[in-house]
Chains A and B, each alone.
Chain A
Amino acid sequence: METLEQIKARLEIALPITRLDILPNECPAGERSLVVNAADGFAVAKFLRDDAQLKLDYCSNVTGIDWPQATIKTKIKRKVSVEGVEKEIEETIETLRSGHLEVVYHLYSMELKHGPVVLRLRTGNRTDHTRLPSLTPLWRGAEFQEREIFDLYGVIFDGHPDLRRILMWDGFAGYPMRRDYVAPDDFEYEPTPHDKVLEQAKKHYPAEVKAEAKTEVKP
């Protein structure tokens, strides 16, 4: 198979792409991945699927990842000359990573038996810009996996034919795979006359449930 640099060069010629990065991977056995803007995601994926040299007809795995806002510390060694003597000093650089959700596609070719090409799409943030193009019209294998990411991470896939919750029940609030999700103590809460349970439940339930619980219990 072509190297990722060759694929990138051909993509840049074929399509008007605003951003196309190769994400490094320090793990020796792992693959580096292509990062594209959400707006270009569908066109890039279509190119990768239909290109005669790549023919990535098999979308093996779709993964959602949550990256909350964080400061990343990276250590960099650099040489400085202090009073004419060269010294190597280690510096820590802090960079702010803005929070976003990420969807990773592992693409293989069943016909040519090569792969993977790893494609990453990122949302704008974690709250109100969580839309990404759905790749289900290209690979049906992504249908349930994208539904799962919608269910557990809250990424909204534009163009998905049947975007519903899949593992959690309908009417469930929240996205349990996000890193800041806090699970309630008890999913099947009903008001009971035990003060201790009521006090515990007050922390987790909205105001009307608390009010309801108060009226029902008469100690």
Chain B
Amino acid sequence: MSATAEMPPKNFEVKPKLDASGQPMGELLEVSMGPHHPSTHGVFRMDVVLDGEEVVKLKPVFGYLHRNHEKIGENISYLSTMPYTDRLDYFCSMTNNWAYALTIDRLAGLAVPERAEYIRVIMAELTRLQNHTCLIGFFVQDMGALGTPMMYAFREREKILDLFESVSGARMMCNYMRFGGVRVDVNDAWLAQAKKVTNEYGKFLDEFEGFLSQNEILLARTQGVGVIPKALAVNASITGPMLRAAGVNYDLRKVDKYGIYSRFDFRVPVGEHGDLYDRYMVRVLEMRESIKILQQALRDIPAGPFMDPKAKLRGFRPKPGEVYGRIEGPKGELGFYVISDGSPNPYRYRIRPPSFINLTILEDMCLGHKIADAVVILGSVDIVLGEVDR
């Protein structure tokens, strides 16, 4: 086996820098950042080795929220897993629901009615809007803009969560989608309110971007920091906005065309440099595309049933087989791999968590930067520990 250029760094030894006479200039400092630190977005730890302020080694440590979600999924019925998927990435329960429902739809060969497909797209795009808005709020908070931008972001998020609450009964743990459709229908008043929120969202984005996109501090902290080369991004299975910021045009809504995404007119924003600013900008532009999709979906949504009449929720026993289903979640490719053996429980239930795999090259991005930049770089990955640890 030959060592290739993509071979990841080993658990390597690090030594302090030497001065002109060949003597070490100082000592290395080992810092355990986390698990309780405001910048780690949950219980997450980074074992950082510092030479002065420069990061020379960084090992992420996680598992603090590990509850063996996959084992739980193997011991309960197919439907009972649906509310558990909400708890994976608790910012985007709707897309988690959809990824799981889509996988089981394919496993059991269910046909999702037209109206349900539209509702699913609307929910997913609303989720994408609120996730990216909040992420940008957290991201600038990591840079030191304490509170204010995040509060603006959370104000807008609350409007979308109100929509989720009125249709599913819960703000965050929606448990809304079902195999072959959705749990309850939406009414005209809800659609009108969703239209109103969508149409006003562009105005909010203009305002938000006005504060941030040309901000001198944001430019100085993000441009040229945490660069991922295109080849490494592909090789390390990076997905979502992080991948597209590195210049790879790969969006599952365009590649797989799952659901009814082939009907909508939207573009995929792609970055150029792969640095933090591109990741910020790709997310802002993605939100603008999401608004376009939402306006088309809310305009075109037909009347009709919202569940496949063949779908069976109780006593559901799919035929033996296996399927891998994936969607473009706000954080990247969210996949479910389910093996059925004909019993009421799945034999194997695996989640492909995007934020877990996006952390693979956290060390590569941080090496050579200051410790303060490591905080911002972690912020740009967009992790949720419920999904990383499962």
Closest to B342 in A: A26
Asked if A58 is at the interface of the complex by the 8 Å CB criterion, the answer is: yes
User: A140 CB to closest chain B CB, in angstroms?
Assistant: 4
| A96 located at the interface, meaning its Cβ lies under 8 Å from any Cβ of chain B in the complex | no
* Contact between chains at B237 and A65 (CB < 8 Å): no
A65 & B63 in contact (Cβ 8 Å cutoff): no
The answer to whether residues A140 and B360 also contact, given A30-B322, A60-B333 and a CB cut-off of 8 A, is yes
- The smallest C-beta distance from B254 to any residue of chain A, in angstroms, reads 9
Q: Which residues of B contact A166 (CB under 8 A)?
A: 62-63
Contact B323 A27 (CB under 8 A): yes
A174 interface residue (CB < 8 Å to B):
no
B235-A30 in contact (CB<8A): no
In the complex, chain B residues 241-291 whose Cβ is within 8 Å of any chain A Cβ: 248, 250, 255
* A167 / chain B contacts, CB cutoff of 8 Å: 62-63, 66, 389-390
The listed residue with most A CB atoms (<10 A of its CB), out of B3, B10, B352, B389, is: B352
| Residues in A neighbouring B23, C-beta threshold 8 A | none
A63 near B248: Cβ-Cβ < 8 Å: no
Contact, CB under 8 Å: A144 / B360 = yes
In the complex, per-residue mask of B363-390: 1 if CB is within 8 Å of any chain A CB, else 0? 0000000000000000000000000011
Could you say which of B232, B250, B340, B348 contacts A63, with CB atoms under 8 Å apart?
B348
CB distance from B236 to the nearest CB of A (A): 4
- Kindly provide the distance from the CB of B337 to the nearest chain A CB, expressed in whole angstroms: 5
- Closest approach, in angstroms, between the C-beta of A109 and any C-beta of chain B? 10
Cα-based distance from A169 to B107 in the complex (angstroms):
35
A37 within 8 A of B: no
In the assembled complex, the Cα of A30 lies from the Cα of B337 at a distance in Å of: 10
Is B68 an interface residue when CB atoms closer than 8 A count as contact? yes
Whether the pair A106, B319 counts as a contact (CB closer than 8 A) is no
B335 near A176: Cβ-Cβ < 8 Å: no
Chain B: interface residue count, which band? 35 or more
Contacts of B107 in A (CB 8 A): 27, 29-30
User: A118 to B337, alpha carbons, bound, how many Å?
Assistant: 12
Asked whether any CB of chain B lies closer than 8 Å to the CB of A136, the reply is yes
Which residues from chain A contact B63 at a C-beta distance below 8 Å?
166-169
Cα A25 to Cα B340 in complex, Å, equals 11
Residues of A within 8 Å of B62, CB to CB, are 166-167
CB atoms of B235 and A141 under 8 A apart: yes
Q: Which residue of B lies closest to A133 (CB)?
A: B1
A176 to B67 CA separation, bound complex (whole angstroms): 11
Contacts of B326 in A (CB 8 A): 60
Q: Report chain A residues within 8 Å CB of B9.
A: 161
CB-defined interface of A119-163 with B at 8 Å, one 1/0 digit per residue? 000000000000001001111111111000000100000010110
**Which of A26, A58, A118, A145 touches B319 (beta carbons < 8 Å)?**
A26
Contact A60 B3 (CB under 8 A): no
CA distance A133 to B1 in the complex (A): 10
Whether, in the assembled complex, B70 has its beta carbon less than 8 Å from a beta carbon of chain A, the answer is yes
Q: Assess whether A113 is interfacial by the CB under 8 Å rule.
A: yes
Interface membership of B187, Cβ < 8 A? no
Asked, given contacts A110-B248, A166-B63, whether A26 binds B321 with beta carbons under 8 Å apart, the answer is yes
- The closest CB in chain A to the CB of B9 belongs to A161
Q: Is A44 an interface residue (CB 8 A)?
A: no
* Contact pick for B68, options A27, A28, A63, A176, CB 8 Å: A176
**Which of chain A's residues have a CB closer than 8 A to the CB of B333?**
60
Q: Is B309 an interface residue (CB 8 A)?
A: no
* Cα A175 to Cα B237 with chains together (Å): 26
Query: Could you list 14 further interchain pairs (A-B, Cβ under 8 angstroms) beyond the known A27-B320, A65-B348, A139-B237?
Result: A42-B1, A59-B237, A60-B352, A63-B337, A118-B324, A133-B1, A137-B3, A137-B4, A137-B6, A138-B4, A142-B237, A143-B8, A167-B389, A177-B68
A-binding residues in B (CB < 8 A) = 1, 3-4, 6-11, 62-63, 66, 68, 70-71, 106-107, 109, 232, 234-238, 248, 250, 255, 318-324, 326, 333, 335, 337, 339-340, 348, 350, 352, 356-357, 359-361, 389-390
A-B contact pairs, 23 of them (CB 8 A): A27-B321, A28-B321, A29-B106, A30-B322, A60-B326, A111-B234, A113-B255, A116-B324, A118-B324, A137-B6, A137-B7, A139-B237, A140-B235, A140-B236, A141-B236, A143-B360, A145-B357, A152-B68, A161-B9, A161-B10, A167-B66, A167-B389, A168-B63
Q: Which 7 A-B pairs have the closest CB atoms?
A: A141-B237, A27-B321, A29-B106, A30-B323, A140-B236, A167-B63, A61-B352
